[in-house]
Every structure is written in structure tokens, then in C-alpha cells.
Structure 1
Amino acid sequence: MKGIFITGTDTGVGKTLITTLIAIGLSELGYSVTLRKPIETGCKPEGSILIPEDGMFYIKNIPSLKKEKIDDITPIRFKEPLCPLAASRIEKTQISWENIITSLKSVETSKILMVEGVGGVMVPITEGRFVYDLIIELQLPVIVVCGNRLGAINHTLLTLDFLKARKISVIGIIINHTDLADTLAHKTNPAIIAELSSGVPIIGTIPYISEISAESLKDVSKKYINYDIIQGYLQSDDITK
């Protein structure tokens, strides 16, 4: 299985947006791409159905996903905006780890599988299993998304150290502007992260996108993400090392 796991340094850093941008860019380069966000919390109830906002964002903005079913893209959904472990307990719905793995590994091997995690790498999914366990089991390399704000340096370096200690391969870092702020922290974060990231490259610094459309996403994807590094992993014989 070839693919990429998108994780964040925290919640609210823009993983869904970045995952969408990369999928668009890879599609433009000729790759057959499919996306999965196996668990989404904070879903909006419509009658008896929970609508996954992130999963629907994929379908709306990635042409190749128009024919895919939302139940395949985001099969596990919770109403409460909590970590999966807490949400499952409150809503009395058991999460099957085996079903998650089976569904992700059943994706056609001809496609590049992009998996978006939940929050950061230590977010608990079930008792004793965390987001990083999912990464290890899938054997996918990681792109780390950090929100460009005060605290980004600390959160990014901690995440990189954690992944390195578990021998999880990291393709690179994408720094995402989650708002229009232009503080000194926003200006200095990218250079400091690049200096201290122990050789893990910054493969994109994404500006705040005020108006999201098919054209704006395609333009930002092409202009601000380094696909040479990503393709290097996708074209290697064993991208997990």
C-alpha cells in the first residue's frame, strides 16, 4: 500500500485543508488518489444522520472523489467534538480497531491512499490505542501539519521527536496559516522550525485562504507545496523506511 498519513501538531491546525491541497496536487500530477478520514468527531446531526464536515469537504473540492461514498471516506462519526475515546464512551458506541484497519487496507493498491488522522499523534482512539498506533499499523510515512501561531515551534518539535522515537518516517512539515494574523511569531516560526527540525524539510508554507474554491485550492496547491519531495516517497520501493 502506498500513501501518506496526515497528522497535526494539535487540533485545528488545518489538516483537512492540507490533505485536500495535496490530493489536488497529486491528481494534477497524474496520480490516482483516494482519501480517508476514518474517524470524525463533532459531526453535525441531520435527523438521525451525522454529517462529517471534513469528509464532505473532500467530496466537494476533490473531483476524483465525487463518485465515492461518504460512508467509505468517513465511516466512524460522533456528534461530540472530543477525542474518539471520549466521544465513543459518551455516545455509547464502540470503535472497532480491526474494522478501521481492514477498511483502510482494502483500498485499491493502484491508488495513493491519503489518511487524515484525528488531532495529534497521541490522541486516543480506543483504550490503549492512539493515532500513532494507526500510523505504525498502516506503515505509511507522515506529513506533519502545524498551525502558524505562538506555540508552533514547541508542538512541531515535540511531534517530530515522538515520531522519530517510534521510527515513523516523516516526509516533511507543512506550516499552515489558520488566520490572517501577522505577528512576529508568524514571521519567525518557519525559519526556526526549519533550523531545529533535524533535517526534516518544510515542504510547504500555506497562506490563509480567505475564499475557498476549486481554482483557489488548485492555485495554492501548485504554488506553495513542494511535490518533488512527496513524489520521492511515493516512487520509492519502500516508502515506510
Structure 2
Amino acid sequence: MKIYVVGIHTDVGKTHFSAAFCKVFGYDYFKLIQAGEPKDSEFIHKFSPATHIFKEGIFLKTSASPHKGKRLERLNYKGLDINLPKSENLLIETAGGLFTPLDESVVMLDYISTFKHPCVLIGKYYLGAINHTLLSLEALNQRQISIKTLVMMGKKEEDFDSFINSYAKVKIVHLDFYKDKIETNAFKKAFSFILE
């Protein structure tokens, strides 16, 4: 199965989840577009050194929105022309949020809609996260993209979870940010349903 890891915003924990998922379930890793360094693939390699990491679809030196980096670096590519690697078990990490530009005319969600595979939506607790989460869920549902689960990063906030759950009826699973190691057994127990 191919699966997208998408975020409600930038820096919410997509790469943390991706590294753990690849390590525990033996998935290959592909970053659709990388803007700036250090590369997310370096984090994947650090925590899951056995993971096969494909070269990113597009690499931009500029740590900014891809449409800006493309212009500044005078690159010539079309976002929808990025080919997914041939792998039966592939995790595809997008950049930023669903409406982050992929080039000057399309966003991440356009790519996901064109090349449909199930997704895991990653969120983080902060002021405004309810709005960003519900907008992201609505956008995915409107494009008829299968949402395997919503993963909330960080210490659980019951008020947030209960509102999202009652409003959107989505399965919420929690994952703490990690600095030293991945608790593989706990992760496997919590997330094995995604592969069903």
C-alpha cells in the first residue's frame, strides 16, 4: 500500500510519524518535495537507518514555500509531473499543509487528489489547531480521499480531542515527539490498524 502523510500545518510532526511508521512497518520513504536543509530524509535515516529512502521528488535549496523557491532558483518543473517511486510499501510525506504550493499553480492537495492513495493526517496542539484540523478534514473529504486516522502529536488535550471527535467523527491516535528512540512495540500496537 502507498500512503500519504499530510499535515494540518507546517512543523506539526509529519517526519516524526513517518520515521516511526517506516521503522515499525518496514515501509520505504519518499519526500514529495524538500524545501531547505537539513533534509527530512536525514531525520528518517537517524531514527530508522534500515529504511529505504528514495531521492526526493524535487529538492529546493530555499527554505520557503516551494513556489517561491522555484522562482528564486529558476527551476523548471511541474508539480503534477513528479513521479512516485515504484514501491509496494511506500510512505509519501508531503510538505507543509494541504494547501501549501507545490509549484506556482497547484498545491499538495491537488497532487494527492490526482494520484489518490489513503492518507494519515498529522496535527499538533496549538491555538488555532481546531480550525486547521477541521479545514484539513473537510478538504480531504471533499476530494474523496480516504483518511486512515488523525494523529495528534504531543501531550493529549482532552478538550481538543472531544470537540474534534464529536464534530468530525474521526479516529484520533496520539504520538509524543521523541528525541532518543522510538517505542516500537507501543507504536505497532497503536497504529497497526492503518495497514488493514
TM-score in terms of structure 2 length: 0.89
CA distance in 2, matches of 1:114, 1:200: 21
1:189 aligned partner, one-letter code: F
1:82 corresponds in structure 2 to 64
Task: Quote the offset at 1:99 in angstroms.
Answer: 4.5
1:8 corresponds in structure 2 to 7
1:47 corresponds in structure 2 to none
Whether the 8 Å CA contact 2:164–2:170 is kept in 1: the answer is no
Whether the 8 Å CA contact 2:4–2:119 is kept in 1: the answer is yes
CA distance in 1, matches of 2:32, 2:12: 18
2:22 corresponds in structure 1 to 23
Indicate yes or no: 2:71 matched with 1:107. no
1:120 corresponds in structure 2 to 97
1:42 aligned partner, one-letter code: G
- Unpaired runs of 5+ residues, structure 1, are 28-32, 45-51, 233-241
Task: Quote the offset at 1:139 in angstroms.
Answer: 1.2
2:36 corresponds in structure 1 to 42
Whether the 8 Å CA contact 1:43–1:77 is kept in 2: the answer is no
User: SS at the partner of 1:129?
Assistant: coil
Task: Quote the offset at 1:217 in angstroms.
Answer: 4.3
Task: Quote the offset at 1:8 in angstroms.
Answer: 0.3
User: SS at the partner of 2:163?
Assistant: helix
User: SS at the partner of 2:82?
Assistant: helix
CA distance in 2, matches of 1:24, 1:191: 30
1:8 aligned partner, one-letter code: G
Q: Deviations over 1:28-84 (max 9, x none)?
A: xxxxx211002111225xxxxxxx2x111112222432xx46xx3324222222111
CA distance in 2, matches of 1:206, 1:119: 19
CA distance in 1, matches of 2:97, 2:80: 21
CA distance in 2, matches of 1:37, 1:127: 19
Whether the 8 Å CA contact 2:165–2:171 is kept in 1: the answer is yes
Identity of aligned residues (%): 26
1:40 aligned partner, one-letter code: Q
User: SS at the partner of 2:6?
Assistant: strand
Task: Quote the offset at 1:220 in angstroms.
Answer: 5.0
1:139 corresponds in structure 2 to 116
CA distance in 2, matches of 1:169, 1:122: 17
1:201 corresponds in structure 2 to 171
User: SS at the partner of 2:77?
Assistant: coil
The equivalences for 1:167-186 within 5 A come to 167-177=144-154, 186=157
Task: Quote the offset at 1:123 in angstroms.
Answer: 0.8
CA distance in 2, matches of 1:219, 1:56: 23
Query: How many pairs are equivalent?
Result: 196
Q: Superposition RMSD on alpha carbons, in Å? A: 2.1
Q: Deviations over 1:110-150 (max 9, x none)?
A: x3111001111111112321101111222111111001222
